[in-house]
Every structure is written in structure tokens, then in C-alpha cells.
């Protein structure tokens, strides 16, 4: 594998760059803001990861052209900006292998990352890297396991071998739909779990929410042809458990703030909010029963109070599990 390129110098992209560099890989990290790129080059630090120093083997650039010699290129940009980044830099990125590291569904088109890559950069092979992980853990070399999804098995095997490190273990699948949807939908459930805890409904309620939320995730994914085994793996159930139970999760913290009627920094990316809106609209159009997702979307948009959402969920008809 040649030099690894990473588009996006946020917490996750930078953490991956550090993990690869520490494993002896050559890495180029691109920051959209040239000023930020210059600052990182100078200090070898990032505001997103406290007390972490970037290895000297990471080349930090503010020019996307510097990713030209890289393959694969990992796209560590927010889901809602992925299409814009690919469109703006199509000439540079329409080749090789593009690995999406974002989780969610595009609010405008309702598409996942591999569909956006395929449409915008048809000459590139799309893949997805997803699963239960926090950037700080990856950057500090703590053991982490992720799912690498690629429809082409040979490319997937090459990526698995080239991107795995002694502390970053990748499991391979060809089910890109399942991996994408697991990573996207768990963020919605994390917001709901945060609301449960923030409102003071208790741990038992959170356990019930996670369980019923997982069923909801499987229901939606099956409607898109995803494999049940994928949702039961790292990119689905594993990621769901992590983000629904840890305050390191931005989506969980956002839900807690909603439940406590507290301030939440609007500059923090919360992928689950846009995903809830997009998936709720799709579910309504396709007749897929998604009560938790619908409730989260209604609460976020101010169309329903948290108290009303809880009352509606608890008054649903009893049925077999």
C-alpha cells in the first residue's frame, strides 16, 4: 500500500493518521483550512485531541492536491459535507479507493456515503470504515476494532491488510449497506439514550431504549437489503452500545442536553440529528415503523416535547418481542 491520505483533520481523521504513523505507515493529512494546517505543522498538536503530539512522519497539508500520491484516501469529513467536498475536488479524488469514515445519511438526498462516492467519483472504488470507536482512544493506541466494508472483496482484503495496525483491528465485510446504516442509525439511538438519562428516566429505561432501538435499526436496514449479521456486529450493535452509554459520544451528550434543557455548543457536529430527520422522512415515505427515530426527529425540530414523545412511546400497543 502506498502513502495513506486522510481528508479531514478533525478528531477522527487526526487520530487515524496518528495510529497509522505509529504503525510505520506514511500518511498525508489534509485540513480544509490552510491556516489550521499551518498551525498543526508548526505545533504538531491539534485542539481536538488533548495532550497528543503528531508523529513527524505525518505530513500535514492545506492543499488537497497533496493527496494525489495517496491510495487509499480516507474521507474523515462530516457526513453532511461529504458531497460538497467530493464535488469540489472531483478531479483530484475521482480515482483509486475512497474510504468514507463518516456516519450518517445525507439530509438532502437520503443517501449513504458509498452511494455519494459512486455518483460523484465513479472512477473510484468506495469503501466504509466504521464501528465502535472514540478518536481519543485510537490516538492513544488503545485497542479498537472496526468494520471495513467494501463491495469488492479483493479491494476490501487489501484495505484490511493495509489499514490494520497492532492496536487497530479491522474486520471485513462486503455488506456496505449494513455497515453504513448501523453507523448512521446508532447515532439517532444515542441521542434518544441521552434524552432518557438527561430527563432522569433511569438506567432501566435506557436499556429498554437500546434494545428496542436496535430492533428498529435492523428493521430499517433489512428494508435496504442489509444483512442481519452485519447489524449484529461491530458496525451495528457494537457501535450502538458504545455511543449509547458513554458521555464521550457527541450524540449522547446532545441528547442529555435536550433532556436537561441545557445549552449545547452548536459548533459541535452531531451527525445523529440530521440522520434522524432524513431517516424519519424515508421511513414515513416507505411505511417503515421507526417510532424512536420519529420521536427524536420531532423533538429536535420542536414539533413534540420530550414529555409528549415519552408518553406516545409508552402508550404504543403491547406486542410480542
Catalytic residue among 42, 103, 186, 319: 186
Q: Which residues of 228-265 are buried (b: 16+ CB within 10 A; e: fewer)?
A: eebbebbbbbbbbebbbbeeebbbbbbbbbbbeeeeee
Does the annotation mark 319 as catalytic?
A: no
Cα distance between residue 162 and residue 71, in whole Å: 10
Q: Judging by DSSP bridges, how do beta strands 125-130 and 144-149 pair with one another?
A: antiparallel
Query: Rg of the Cα trace of the chain?
Result: 19
Query: Do the Cβ atoms of 127 and 149 come closer than 8 Å?
Result: yes
Q: What's the distance, CA 207 to chain centroid? A: 22
Q: What's the distance, CA 139 to chain centroid? A: 17
Preceding peptide of 72 cis, ω within 30°: yes
Catalytic residues, which ones? Answer: 186
Amino acid at each position: 500500500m502506498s502513502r495513506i491520505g486522510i481528508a479531514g483533520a478533525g478528531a477522527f481523521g487526526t487520530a487515524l493518521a496518528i495510529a497509522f504513523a505509529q504503525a510505520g505507515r506514511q500518511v498525508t493529512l489534509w485540513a480544509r483550512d490552510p491556516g489550521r494546517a499551518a498551525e498543526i505543522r508548526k505545533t504538531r498538536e491539534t485542539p481536538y485531541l488533548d495532550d497528543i503530539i503528531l508523529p513527524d512522519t505525518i505530513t500535514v497539508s492545506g492543499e488537497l492536491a497533496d493527496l494525489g500520491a495517496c491510495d487509499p484516501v480516507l474521507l474523515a469529513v462530516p457526513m453532511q459535507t461529504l458531497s460538497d467536498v467530493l464535488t469540489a475536488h472531483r478531479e483530484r479524488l475521482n480515482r483509486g479507493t475512497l474510504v468514507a469514515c463518516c456516519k450518517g445519511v445525507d439530509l438532502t438526498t437520503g443517501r449513504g456515503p458509498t452511494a455519494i462516492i459512486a455518483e460523484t467519483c465513479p472512477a473510484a472504488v468506495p469503501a466504509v470504515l466504521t464501528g465502535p470507536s472514540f478518536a481519543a482512544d485510537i490516538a492513544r493506541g488503545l485497542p479498537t476494532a472496526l468494520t471495513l466494508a467494501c463491495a469488492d472483496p479483493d479491494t476490501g482484503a487489501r484495505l484490511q491488510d493495509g489499514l490494520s495496525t497492532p492496536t487497530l483491528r479491522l474486520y471485513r465485510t462486503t455488506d456496505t449497506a449494513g455497515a453504513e446504516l448501523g453507523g448512521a442509525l446508532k447515532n439517532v439511538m444515542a441521542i434518544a439514550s441521552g434524552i432518557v438519562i438527561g430527563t432522569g428516566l433511569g438506567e432501566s429505561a435506557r436499556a429498554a431504549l437500546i434494545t428496542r432501538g436496535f430492533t428498529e435499526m435492523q428493521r430499517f436496514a433489512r428494508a435496504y437489503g442489509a444483512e442481519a449479521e452485519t447489524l449484529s456486529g461491530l458496525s451495528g450493535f457494537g457501535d450502538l452500545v458504545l455511543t449509547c452509554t458513554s458521555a464521550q459520544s457527541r450524540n449522547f451528550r446532545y441528547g442529555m442536553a435536550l433532556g436537561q434543557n441545557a445549552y449545547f455548543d452548536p459548533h459541535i457536529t452531531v451527525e445523529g440529528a440530521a440522520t434522524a430527520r432524513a431517516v424519519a422522512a424515508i421511513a414515513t415515505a416507505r411505511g417503515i415503523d421507526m417510532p424512536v427515530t420519529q420521536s427524536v426527529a420531532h423533538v429536535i425540530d420542536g414539533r413534540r416535547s420530550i414529555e409528549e414523545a415519552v408518553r406516545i412511546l409508552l402508550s404504543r400497543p403491547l406486542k410480542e418481542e
